[in-house]
Structure 1
């Protein structure tokens, strides 16, 4: 009698510049569905999803080996922190003290500053086999790292459940008042990465009535978020990503050169994940849903992929080769008391849970009503 195939495997994935070994952990689901996570950046490196005919394809951008992740900071699949998105001017006030974070996006600090969580080797703290295989990565971000106060103990757990679902859960605790906003930054193309076709024909739905217009520095403008109704940002009903991306609208020209905006899902974090977005690729029949407990969703249409970076299979990644859906708190929240707070105090635990659900278009109805 042959043994059942392993639903969790571990293998070497190279050595980081500091000499630390990097590992890849692969979690296996049903019908070939699998996600590979690397300890460098606690990142999603590969995501195999069957299409409507059962054919597997890798639906995330990235690199075949560690050198690609080290040589170019592209955020492919990475865990982002301490603060995802932008902090205006690389500074904010906390308890009467000015906190400075290294600018790395013009005058702004983006995705944690000059050296964010995506540039570190994380510890593999725990693995779980069984029907829902999982891996937990941990690291301590020391007091003063990139200017942020307090020692921050962070964990991210990836779990495959129900055969085709990927759960991502972040937790963090601090010993000093600080700010935290964590997310995963996977670049998706549901058609598969071997023969990339621009994602303009992917049909997108976002459960948001409002979005955050940005200024010339890509920072949310002063004032409340604005209604999506009557704008190219209205994805309340499914529409192709490319349908209005060239529309003559100031928010789609400079600085974003497309979509790179916060969509308002709620006015504060929620207790349980709720439906946030759905994407369908008609060519392959693959469908992805995002459920999250975060109040914001950054939708990015791959505008700054310019062919200068070569990823898997030596492919040069170009504009619109992928999209990102980044559940998080609202951008520049440390500078905006009118936004949901990202403050974390000692004794509190930051939690963020998101769920990616995959299925093919044909049997979609059988999974559409399930709750996380």
Structure 2
């Protein structure tokens, strides 16, 4: 069993601890305040049932029926959210121990080769993730280079709680999105893109999370959003997110439970954390109307997402 290694990024009053397992953010502190949820020990991330802090894929979010067709071939995937496939499967990227190469206090590189047939997906894919810290801003620079056509859609799955304790009920969230991809009760998109006007997913003005019943859905970001999302904590700490991806999953840890011993942040439970997962649209591989997530050697996968907490 390969050892899990860790590295600490530091700049100004921000300190971020990252792990080789799943490229996970284990701890994030601003002026010594923990602002993310995590587990107590690196070994706990081998199991990680909540995808805590990890980079998820090959394809993040849900694939309906745990299958897709590509060039006349049907591919069956593990139905780890039965009957659907979730976050790349039980052995997806967030459950893999990547090769980690630190570059001083402000950057670290991760590499992983996902081989043909991994979790049911076709093709070999060379993945690379670089995390860079500048001041209070952490950037995920992610790429996946396949040797044949295959779907790729990655996302960071960090749970934020800017208070460092309690729930996110007193957090205010604003997202630059006029549309969203509504879902059925099983959280798989219906395949349409609809206006947020009059729905619970209207975050165009700040929404107090405690005024809702919980969220787990994909917003269609305005292409020129700067930033794409803003969060204000109960005592004024602020988070801002920028991304080049078209979607943002807003998830308020509706089903989170205490699976493993907790780290220094908030106690794990419903509404304990807020995930803002920059991504392509869920189930896009089965919805022709959604932007394609098919990547090739000549058109590899790329994502740039930055999150600043000050």
Normalised-by-shorter TM-score class: over 0.9
Gaps of at least 5 residues in structure 2 are: none
Gaps of at least 5 residues in structure 1 are: 1-17, 51-55, 247-257, 360-372
**Secondary structure of 2:144's aligned partner:** strand
Paired residue for 1:58?
Answer: 34
Paired residue for 1:241?
Answer: 209
Q: CA RMSD in A?
A: 1.7
Contact 1:307 1:319 in 2 (8 A): no
- What whole-Å deviation, never above 9, does each CA across 1:100-123 have from its counterpart, x for those lacking one? 111111200000012111111100
Contact 2:34 2:264 in 1 (8 A): no
Deviation of residue 128 (structure 1)? 2.4
Contact 1:123 1:138 in 2 (8 A): yes
Paired residue for 2:16?
Answer: 35
Paired residue for 1:353?
Answer: 304
Equivalent residues in 2 for 1:216-295 (5 A)?
216-222=185-191, 224-243=192-211, 245-246=212-213, 258-266=214-222, 274-283=226-235, 285-295=236-246
Deviation of residue 274 (structure 1)? 4.3
Q: 1:164 to 1:85 in 2, by over 3 A?
A: same
Say which one has the larger Rg.
Answer: 1
Paired residue for 2:130?
Answer: 157
Deviation of residue 200 (structure 1)? 1.1
Paired residue for 1:90?
Answer: 66
Q: 1:152 to 1:273 in 2, by over 3 A?
A: farther
1:48 aligns with 2:24: no
**Secondary structure of 2:46's aligned partner:** helix
Contact 2:174 2:204 in 1 (8 A): yes
**Secondary structure of 1:47's aligned partner:** strand
Aligned residue pair count: 310
Equivalent residues in 2 for 1:89-108 (5 A)?
89-108=65-84
Deviation of residue 309 (structure 1)? 4.1
**Which residue, out of 163, 173, 191, partners 2:145?**
173
Paired residue for 2:110?
Answer: 137
Paired residue for 1:215?
Answer: 184
- Work out which structure has the larger RCO, using CA pairs closer than 8 Å and 6 or more positions apart in sequence: 2
Deviation of residue 72 (structure 1)? 4.0
Q: Distance in 1 between matches of 2:140 and 2:225?
A: 11
Q: 1:127 to 1:313 in 2, by over 3 A?
A: closer
**Secondary structure of 1:263's aligned partner:** strand
Paired residue for 1:321?
Answer: 272
Contact 1:175 1:345 in 2 (8 A): yes
Deviation of residue 28 (structure 1)? 0.4
- What whole-Å deviation, never above 9, does each CA across 1:116-138 have from its counterpart, x for those lacking one? 111111001x43237xx200100
Q: Distance in 2 between matches of 1:95 and 1:275?
A: 38
Paired residue for 1:370?
Answer: none
Deviation of residue 349 (structure 1)? 2.3
- What whole-Å deviation, never above 9, does each CA across 1:282-320 have from its counterpart, x for those lacking one? 32x210000000000000011001344431159751110
Deviation of residue 218 (structure 1)? 1.0
Q: 1:307 to 1:122 in 2, by over 3 A?
A: closer
Q: Distance in 2 between matches of 1:238 and 1:146?
A: 39
Paired residue for 1:111?
Answer: 87
Contact 2:19 2:42 in 1 (8 A): no
Q: 1:340 to 1:274 in 2, by over 3 A?
A: farther
Deviation of residue 76 (structure 1)? 0.7
Q: Distance in 1 between matches of 2:261 and 2:160?
A: 16
TM value normalised by structure 1: 0.80
**Secondary structure of 1:306's aligned partner:** coil
Contact 2:20 2:99 in 1 (8 A): yes
